[in-house]
Amino acid sequence: MAKENQILEEITGGEYKYGFSTDIETETAAIGLSEDTIRFISNKKQEPSWMLEARLKAYRYWLTLEEPKHWPHLSYPTINYQDIIYYAAPKKQQQLSSLNEVDPELLRTFEKLGISLEEQKRLSGVQSTIAIDAVIDSVSVKTTFKETLAEKGIIFCSFSEAVQEHPELVKQYMGSMVPYTDNFFAALNAAVFSDGSFCYIPKGVRCPMELSTYFRINTSGTGQFERTLIIADEGSYVSYLEGCTAPMRDENQLHAAVVEIVAQKNAEVKYSTVQNWYPGDKNGKGGIYNFVTKRGICAGDNSKISWTQVETGSAITWKYPSVILKGNNSVGEFYSVAVTNNKQQADTGTKMTHLGKNTRSTIVSKGISAGFSNNSYRGLVRIAKGASNARNHSQCDSLLMSDTCGAHTFPYIEIKDKSAIVEHEATTSKIGEDQLFYCRQRGIDAEKAVALIVNGYCKEVLNQLPMEFAVEAQKLLAVSLEGSVG
Amino acid sequence: MTNIAEKISPGDKLIAELELNQDSLTGSDVIRSTRRNALKSFSKQGLPARKSEEYKYSPVNRLFQKELSFVTASPVSDEKENSFALAGLDASVIRILNGVVHIPVSGFDSATCAAWSLKSLPKEELSFFENHFAHYALPDTDPFIALNTAAFQDVLIIKIADGAALAKPILIQNITDSTHASFTQPRIFIHVGKNASVEIIEQFASTKKEYATVCNAVSEIVVESGAKALFYKLQNDCAGLQLISTTQVYQHHDSHFDTHTVTFSGSWTRNNLNIVPDGEHCETHLNGLFILNEEQHTDNHTLVDHRKPNCESNQLYRGILKNKSTGVFNGKIYVRPDAQKTNAYQSSKNMLLSDDASMYTKPQLEIYADDVKCSHGSSTGQIDEEALFYLRARGISADSARILLMQAFAKDVVNTIRIEPLRKEIELLIEKRLAN
Amino acid sequence: MLSIKNLKAGIEDKEILKGFNLEVKAGEVHAIMGPNGSGKSTLASVLAGREDYAVTDGSVQFLKKDLLEMSPEDRAREGLFLAFQYPVEIPGVSNINFLKTALAEIRQYKGLPPMEAKDFLKRVKEKQALVELQVSLANRSVNEGFSGGEKKRNEIFQMAMLEPVLAILDETDSGLDIDALRIVANGVNKLRAPERAFIVITHYQRLLEYIVPDFVHVMYNGRIVKSGTKELALELEEKGYDWIKKELGETIEA
């Protein structure tokens, strides 16, 4: 309550708060993409040859693909893939064992972003502590609480480290949910990914703290291609958070990530994202192109994967966190808030593929469009033959804040089993004038009233977020909608 | 069998045949030029590819596996035609046989309503017709519209005078009768004058089910301001028929268009229903019902393109799927920036009665105006077990109870049918179809 | 405190207020009665600043400031409170968060720091008791799932929380049973103070048995046609609005 109030107090300036860039010495790959670029990245990371082979295979496949421009409700100039730097890393980067070894400039950067890389335990105890893997441009600079987690057998490290230290797990799972053949951006990522987070929760372990990755793009002209792999072994539980920001630049920077999750029997993974990449300016200049493939598989019986996302940033968002419900009685959830303002475009949603028996999925999507933006929900619910007693409920609501924006809903529902019950509901409306007036009569100005009403509208989704993130998300919602009331 | 013809795609084959035939097809200079442009448009588009978003759930390649010919056989005898009559319905009947229009001498009151085939169209009506023809169903928007516009043999032209209120419904029997795998292109143009009101039934039927006949029908309907048109499409008695039926409607301000698409038979059916309410205060109702069995495939594609403020549209679709049948509902509500205060609603509910049946639903909203109320709801499920039990507990057999509940499910749509004999006929057909 | 002079206002092209005059001083309770369609609720909406209504003539001074120049929120911050006839539901926004925000904004406007959480909660409890509003305000959204009576009590509760200078009660009695009516009236009476004024808009006399007004005005056809003391309300109850209409008709004819 006090926090909510604080949030509203803080909403004053309307600008993107994370738009600064840090002056750090950076080592980059030569601009452009070729097999040499991939060899350069692989070499930088001293990868085993199987990894390099996997990259090259993906690259060769990628060359045969076309960018998927026909079906998303997005329009943007053709991306010149030879005009991107595929690897950039802060120079001092070495094997770091203590915080003191991290470039102080980097520490300050994360501090400024509100991310503490110091392992201080809070008064409320370990439970509310967050372990962070901080990724800047192409590399992970620091992973906190590794030792504490290791005591429980939890592996939480950078992806590069996992390739070195846990090759058997990486080999077994990498690409099993999102193969390089999946789509254009997944293939590109498989070829050039530079780092990311890796997480393994052993059998029966409940991860004692939130795990989190913070992505920061810093260097101009680079793309960020990270990969996250989360393996929840039988009966385990983990809540994973992801946050991202980037400097304000006139150029469009590409972010093409892959996230893979596997939940074994009785395991549960909760994955939350607050996406706040630089959205570009009022006129649509600059901003991140965010093309992300996220997929989880409920491999074992009674497993559960839940995606929650709050998407406020990026010039373009193309993202469909999905769940394959393979295990019997498995559960998939997707909770999403997507806000677009000015010239932003979002085409986002989910795919729920029901294969096992008695599987359940829930989709709640809240789209809010303002300014000149376009906001689309695109989702697929597929009930395979033999997936008996599958249940799905989808609710997709769109809120329009201006008469120059667009709100769209494109659900695909495919049912091949007669015992399925699938329900889909969608609504589109504008913000209630009478609600606004009511708030204003009580002394709340229009801008704050909008923030209040929109937060209420998104409550169902925001409630899914861990506390710290919920606060962040509410702030973001208010900030991204500033200037949207006429 | 390695001759060159084998390697030509079905689409290219159609183009080649049409190019040869162009000179022999009827029409004024304007119409012939429209034809040629449509052929160009089809050549550019080709048949929908496997990846086509619009034909995603209804791939058309199976329709063109057999070699199809535009040349059609001579029409059936009158006796045969009458077997498609609807009991108790007093209507003015027009027949289209294999795409050729047969206007009866009697049955039309020329003061309020006129009907012509392209050949019988009076000279003084030609420019009126040319001003409308192919202005609504645009060849560039769909390859089958392009094909029909390039290849039609005849056009049924119906003109309802301003202010006319027709006492009797008009029944258009669109009959396919062929002794080989043919490809027919029926074409209809209906103009409902200002403040007129009319009820039209279009009935699709075929005589022989053993031939893989494909019918590609296109209708253009213009509803002038203040007019009211009720349009019923009944697809029955067309076993074996593969049908692509496009209905393109253009509404002027304060008009009312109410349509039903009822699909019972036909081995493969694709209904494209595109409605453009292009004036303020239009009201549009789209209702649909399909009951499928065996390996039937039915795809209902709707588009309501709201362009002006203060309009209302309502879509209500119900489907029951048995055996190995496949159903598709793809409905789109499009609201353009000017169309403030649009009220648009869409509901699609389906019942799957067999493990081998499939239902694909894609209800879409594309909204560019802010002061609107748009929503859709879609559900797919089975018979409510609670209700079933309740009926059985009252002594009704499980089978009868099921049929009762399915009838109740279909009722939402059936109850909105305004022509009494037609509704009765459809109720009977539902009972028959559900029973077996 | 409030001075309304020759106020003319309407919606679209229809004039509803046709030269309305009213003076309200601190500590006074004014009742405005009148038949349906006489413009009572329009008056409340215009004073609160609802933008659907256009003011075409006249002036409204509130605490020596031009009320009509102010945004709805500034009117509220200056101390004008409207208890809505139909309080809107705001899904997802908890009552507590809503009130806290409103209170903080009003205090900020007056240059006061936000209230301490402890004091705030104390005040909530206290004022909730005032209107016997037992619903849990923290978990429930503004007016969502409230019964008609709860909504009206919530309005009075909010009034108690925000401590306005001038409160306008727009048909607060409509849809209330006798017990709820007493509770609401009781709440209002406890808030009566020398520095605070009330405008009670009502169709029936019965509310005025509980909230005893200093003045009663009868509104008809967009203006006040008769003013008096509380006895006027009783007379109205007895003779009905037709009496006024007749009397008016006579004056017009004369």
A350 and A376 in contact (C-beta within 8 Å)?
A: no
Provide, as residue numbers in chain C, all residues whose Cβ is less than 8 Å from the Cβ of A452: 90, 93, 97-98, 101
Dihedral of alpha carbons B393, B398, B399, B401, sign: positive
Residue in A336, A243, A213, A341 with CA at minimum distance from that of residue A287: A341
Q: Domain end: B277, B310, B341, which one? A: B277
Work out the minimum CA distance from A264 to partner chain C, whole angstroms: 35
Pairwise CA distance, residues A275 & B393, whole Å = 55
CA distance C113 to C134: 29
Task: Pull the structure tokens for residue C18.
Answer: 């046709």
- Report CA torsion sign: B79, B81, B86, B92: negative
CA A360, CA A369: separation in Å to the nearest integer?
A: 30
Provide φ and ψ at A418, rounded to 5°. Answer: -75, -20
pLDDT at A2: 39
Residues 6+ apart with CB under 8 A from B99: B72, B152, B153, B154, B184, B185, B186, B187
CB A155 within 8 A of CB A162: yes
Query: B57: nearest CA in chain A?
Result: A414
Among the residues of B118-272, which ranges form H helices? Answer: 126-132, 143-151
What pLDDT does C240 receive? 82
> Greater confidence, A155 or A10?
A155
SS3 B234: strand
Q: Contact A428/B367, CB-based, under 8 Å? A: yes
Quickly count: other Cβ atoms within 10 Å of residue C215's Cβ: 18
Strands C80-83 and C90-94: unpaired
With touching defined as 3 or more inter-chain CB pairs under 8 Å, the answer for chains C and B is: no
CA A340 to CA A343: how far, in whole Å? Answer: 8
CB contact under 8 A, A424 and B368: no
pLDDT computed for residue A5 by the predictor = 34
B31-40, B249-258, C131-140: range with lowest mean pLDDT: C131-140
Domains of chain C, earliest start first? 2-87+164-247 (3.40.50.300)
Which residues from C are below 8 Å from A8, CB to CB? 101, 104
Residue A312, pLDDT above cutoff 70: yes
The model's pLDDT over B232-277, given as tens digits with 9 standing for 90+, comes to 999 988 888 899 999 999 999 999 999 999 999 999 999 999 999 9
Collapsing DSSP to helix, strand or coil, A477 comes out as helix
Per-residue pLDDT, A286: 87
CB C162 within 8 A of CB C82: no
Instruction: For residue B227, tell me if it sits in a domain.
Output: yes
* Boundary-marking domain end, from B256, B277, B298: B277
Q: What is the mean pLDDT of residues A383-396?
A: 95
Length of chain C: 254
Q: Could you give the CA distance from residue A383 to residue B379 in angstroms, rounded to a whole number?
A: 13
Residue B186 lies in a domain: yes
A132 backbone dihedrals φ, ψ, rounded to 5°: -125, 135
Bridge partner residues of B78 (DSSP): none
**Domain closes at, from B277, B295, B326:** B277
Contact B401, B391 (CB under 8 A): yes
Q: In this predicted structure, which of A68-82, A239-253, A270-284 has the lowest mean pLDDT? A: A239-253
Instruction: Please write the tens of the pLDDT for every residue from C68-93.
Output: 999 888 999 999 999 999 888 888 78
Q: Is A269 helix (H, G, I), strand (E, B) or coil?
A: strand
**Are the beta carbons of B55 and B246 closer than 8 angstroms?**
no
What is the distance of C-alpha B390 from the center of its chain? Answer: 38
Q: How many domains does chain B have?
A: 2
- pLDDT exceeds 70 at position B1: no
Best CA proximity match to A156, nearest among A113, A124, A119, A114: A119
pLDDT class of B76 with cuts at 50, 70, 90? low
B306-333 burial, b at 16+ Cβ within 10 Å, e below that, comes to: bbbbbbbbbbbbbbbbbebbbbbbbbbb
Find the closest chain B residue to A372 by CA distance: B368
Say which residues have a Cβ less than 8 Å from residue B219's Cβ, sequence separation at least 6. B137, B187, B188, B189, B190, B202, B245, B246, B247, B248
| Other C-beta atoms lying within 10 Å of the C-beta of residue A112 | 12
Q: pLDDT tens-digit profile of A418-468?
A: 999 999 999 998 888 889 999 999 999 888 898 889 988 998 898 888 877
Which positions 409-448 of A are in contact with C (Cβ < 8 Å)?
Answer: 432, 434-435, 437-446, 448
Q: Indicate which of A395, A428, A436, A450 best probes the interface with B, i.e. most B CBs within 10 Å of its own CB.
A: A428
The pLDDT score that the predictor gives to residue B38 is 94
- CA B286 vs. chain centroid, Å, equals 11
Contact A170, A19 (CB under 8 A): no
pLDDT class for B109, splitting at 50, 70, 90? low
Pick from A405, A423, A428: which is nearest to B372 by CB? A428
Residue B82 has pLDDT above 80, yes or no: no
| Inside any domain, residue B4 | no
Contact present, A203 and A234 (Cβ < 8 Å): yes
d(CA B44, CA B31): 20
Q: Say what the ipTM of the complex is.
A: 0.82
> What is chain A's mean pLDDT, rounded?
85
Q: Which pLDDT value is given to residue B68?
A: 79
Rounded to whole angstroms, how far apart are CA atoms B239 and B244?
Answer: 14
The first and second tokens of residue C48, run together, are 């609160």
Cα–Cα distances in angstroms (integers) from residue B418 to residues A92, B124, B199, B258, B291, in the given order: 80, 35, 9, 10, 20
Q: How far is A363 from chain C (nearest CA, A)?
A: 18
Taking the CB of residue C210, how many other CB atoms lie within 10 A of it? 16
pTM assigned to the model: 0.84
Asked if B367 lies within 8 A of A411 by C-beta distance, the reply is no
CA–CA distance, C149 with B55 (Å, rounded to integer): 55
Q: Specify if B132 maps to a domain.
A: yes
Task: Give pLDDT, residue B106.
Answer: 62
Look up residue B285 and give its DSSP letter.
Answer: E
For residues B271 and B396, membership in a common domain is answered with no
Q: A333 vs chain B: nearest CA distance in angstroms? A: 18
Neighbours of A416 (CB within 10 A): 20
C162 and A5 within 8 Å at the Cβ level: the answer is: no
Helix runs in B98-178, H state only: 126-132, 143-151
Q: Which amino acid is at A361?
A: S
Instruction: Give me the domain span that covers residue B165.
Output: 10-277
- Helix (H) / strand (E) element for A438: namely helix A433-441
Are B333 and B376 spatial neighbours (Cβ–Cβ below 8 Å)?
A: yes
- The one-letter code for the residue type at B184 is T
**Residue B105: what pLDDT?**
63
Judge whether B307 and B274 are in contact, CB under 8 Å: no
Give the pLDDT confidence of A193-230 residue by residue, as tens digits: 988 899 999 999 999 888 888 887 777 788 889 899 99
B379 inside 8 A of chain A by CB: yes
Domain-embedded: residue B313? no
Let me know the angle formed at the C-alpha of B430 by B428 and B436, rounded to the nearest 5 degrees: 105
Query: Best residue in C53, C88, C94 to probe A by mutation, most A CBs within 10 Å?
Result: C88
Q: pLDDT digits over B258-270, tens only?
A: 999 999 999 999 9
Tell me how many helices (H) and strands (E) chain A has: 12, 24
Domain boundaries, chain A: 2-430+458-481
**Closest to B272 (Cα-Cα) out of B223, B218, B342:** B218
Which runs of E-coded beta strand occur in A116-266?
A: 130-136, 139-143, 155-158, 197-201, 210-216, 227-232, 237-245, 252-255, 258-263
**Do the domain assignments include residue B5?**
no
Degrees to nearest 5, angle at CA A475 with A474 and A480: 100
Residue C101 to residue A2, Cβ atoms within 8 A: no
Tell me, what's the pLDDT at A125? 37
State how far the Cα of C85 lies from the Cα of C155, in Å rounded to an integer.
9
Shortest CB distance from C76 goes to which of A432, A441, A455?
Answer: A441
Share of chain A above pLDDT 70, in %: 89
Position B434 in a domain: yes
How much is the CA Rg of chain A, to the nearest whole Å?
A: 22
Euclidean distance between CA atoms B16 and C127, whole angstroms:
85
Residue range A42-67, pLDDT digits in tens? 998 899 999 999 999 999 999 999 88
Give the chain A residue whose CA is nearest to the CA of C88. A435
Residue whose pair of structure tokens reads 């119900």 in the numeric block: B318
**Whole-number Å distance between alpha carbons of A207 and A201:** 7
User: Within its chain, how far is the Cα of C161 from the centroid?
Assistant: 15
Q: Which helix (H) or strand (E) holds A440?
A: helix A433-441
Q: How far, in Å, CA of B4 to CA of A212, rounded?
A: 62
Selection from C148, C126, C147, C125 nearest residue C136 by Cα: C125
Asked if A460 lies within 8 A of C92 by C-beta distance, the reply is: yes
Residue by residue, DSSP assigns C174-208 as TT--HHHHHHHHHHHHHH--TT-EEEEEESSSHHH
Residue B386 at interface with chain A, using a CB cutoff of 8 Å: no
